[in-house]
Structure 1
């Protein structure tokens, strides 16, 4: 694996990138693509998240009532599935999820100064009963309400104390977090399902549309989901804890490291991005002679996903093993390549790439 990054990257460089030098967009395909983005990816993604959050809330309630290995195992499984469902739709960081700090209430990350962790630990130590009330918890810090707070409850230091007696404080706090996430998930599904709401605004750009006046504005937002999502995977899911051979490399910076969900969540991010690209049939926006751009993007997605799926779940092992670090180097190189292919090549081909940078917000 030591030479994986250089070898595979050399092969990928030989793939056609597309010209991106002139607009080559099939305007007739725009309405269908926008509709499929909403109905084929976004709405189903939030429905899956809502289903997983409901399962999580039920599992926490059962564990608190009967704290044994069986109910704890069910809660572990529910948490893994919830992380996967969220990570798949997490890439859509636009629309109702950014209202009322919903995104941060679901996932407060990165927590650069461990402020959120300290608040969660303090609530558990002090047994702050207000944090166990699902109606009051939303008024507290966003860091105390979401997935990472629930992860600490289930997997963090002294989690085993929840087995001592039914309805322990720590477990009830975890149950309140799960209910809070379920409430947010339900609200997101409801808003995306509303017939005259955000879904309709995405599907039908126009002069009276409060979100998108033109097709280009809507497509810019759609492509921005892909580009920003890839930037997040590279910059805040991998590079945030791994900065190359010279570091600093800090395993506890990796997302979901306590539950060993770092790589499953990153894989779900990547699969979500690829599903959005393909379920929306964004290839149909391109003229026939440049559709190989999407083929090369899909090839690269599959290669990156294969490496992510082979990573050791223990981040300390990943950082100490030369073969695992070679895979990390490969991921950094090729996620950067994906960003360029999506933004410059695909975006350029539909007239949104030349002189445009999603990173700069231009």
Structure 2
């Protein structure tokens, strides 16, 4: 399990953020909180979800059933855990195409359908060898391919081999998730230690502020991905122009569930899971209290809108005022993104720039 801060340590970290101190000490304390109480627990949850998914698929496929309730529930648990870290595109996530292998999306050219169809048609057991599978097409290795097998299985596929493919995907996701966690907290140079030692300078970061900037960019990335990819692409510019099948995870009817988790995780990153995150640091700066109030209000407004919507974007669009409600959510999130890119960035002197989701 991740090293949770003791009560005394938490008090010390929060005090270091709440009391006058140098900017370097502020950022170092912030990084410690975010690593210990935000990042590591979420990667632990991802690794645990991967193990549960792999075990469920082996058990259900061993009994001859691909889309059994246990496997479906495990799929949703894995997807939930991934949505909570989807925006953390730095460090171990950048290695070995891990993020794309977990979720190859958006797939604008239909690569998943083609590659998955070819895999099922050829039905070569050797292609499912763990090493070969993990080094093959990223399009068939992760959650989108598994979603298709569960909720929109290709016609003509041999059910037994489709089950074998699902088991291979489950094992692959388990390996990727466990590898991510191991690289963050284990070995001679775990990435958590790299961030914690940023104050002294290291090969990855010049100082603690640069490491904090990495987290701030991830915070912005969560909002960019939500507005530009998860809402703009399916909603378009009017109710008559919607393209609901551009939505993320539309086959499993969880497009808005994904967004709900994205926003919850982004807000937790901003607040530091209650242990003194960016919000506390922001309030210490001149004019920062007002910026924090505006950001908190924007998050609250987005949460309220999401709580009133179903998990499925299509189900929301089927409601008489569905498109307008989703467009209002999109506007709220754009306003929140403007607060992060403007007053938040300027007050903390953290230039956010671009990230991996810009321009997708």
TM-score > 0.5, shorter chain as reference: yes
| Counterpart for residue 13 of structure 1 | none
Aligned length: 331
**Further displaced range: 302-311 or 266-275:** 302-311
**Shift in CA distance, 135/40, structure 1 to aligned 2, threshold 3 Å:** same
| Counterpart for residue 188 of structure 1 | 180
| Counterpart for residue 18 of structure 2 | none
Q: Please give the per-residue CA displacement for 1:25-58, whole angstroms capped at 9, x wherever unaligned.
A: 8553221100111111111111000001100001
| Counterpart for residue 333 of structure 2 | 335
| Counterpart for residue 96 of structure 1 | 92
SS of residue paired to 2:233: coil
Matched, 1:35 2:32: yes
- Measured on the aligned residues, the alpha-carbon RMSD in Å equals 2.5
**Shift in CA distance, 26/139, structure 1 to aligned 2, threshold 3 Å:** closer
| Counterpart for residue 276 of structure 1 | 269
Pairs within 5 Å for 1:252-291: 252-279=245-272, 281-286=277-282, 287=284, 290-291=288-289
Contact 1:25-1:350 within 8 A present in 2 as well: no
Contact 2:195-2:211 within 8 A present in 1 as well: yes
Matched, 1:156 2:155: no
**Further displaced range: 175-184 or 132-141:** 132-141
Instruction: Give, in whole Å, the separation in 1 of the partners of 2:91 and 2:154.
Output: 38
**Further displaced range: 266-275 or 175-184:** 266-275
Instruction: Give, in whole Å, the separation in 2 of the partners of 1:282 and 1:246.
Output: 37
Contact 1:108-1:142 within 8 A present in 2 as well: yes
Runs of 5+ consecutive residues of structure 2 not aligned to the other structure: 1-20
> Shift of the alpha carbon at 1:214?
2.1
Matched, 1:346 2:344: yes
| Counterpart for residue 200 of structure 1 | 193
Instruction: Give, in whole Å, the separation in 2 of the partners of 1:81 and 1:160.
Output: 29
Runs of 5+ consecutive residues of structure 1 not aligned to the other structure: 1-23
| Counterpart for residue 110 of structure 1 | 106
Instruction: Give, in whole Å, the separation in 2 of the partners of 1:237 and 1:264.
Output: 11
Instruction: Give, in whole Å, the separation in 2 of the partners of 1:271 and 1:128.
Output: 42
Pairs within 5 Å for 1:1-362: 26-68=23-65, 72-157=68-153, 168-194=160-186, 196-206=189-199, 208-245=201-238, 248-279=241-272, 281-286=277-282, 287=284, 290-353=288-351, 357-358=353-354
Instruction: Give, in whole Å, the separation in 2 of the partners of 1:221 and 1:293.
Output: 20
Q: Please give the per-residue CA displacement for 1:92-135, whole angstroms capped at 9, x wherever unaligned.
A: 01111111111100110000011122111221233232343223
**Shift in CA distance, 256/213, structure 1 to aligned 2, threshold 3 Å:** same
SS of residue paired to 1:122: helix
> Shift of the alpha carbon at 1:359?
5.9
**Shift in CA distance, 359/51, structure 1 to aligned 2, threshold 3 Å:** closer
Which structure is higher in RCO with an 8 Å CA cutoff and minimum separation 6? 1
Instruction: Give, in whole Å, the separation in 2 of the partners of 1:260 and 1:160.
Output: 24
Q: Please give the per-residue CA displacement for 1:250-295, whole angstroms capped at 9, x wherever unaligned.
A: 1111111111121111111111111111125212323265223223
SS of residue paired to 1:239: helix
Structure 1 ranges of 4+ moved more than 4 A: 24-27, 158-162
Instruction: Give, in whole Å, the separation in 2 of the partners of 1:329 and 1:29.
Output: 38
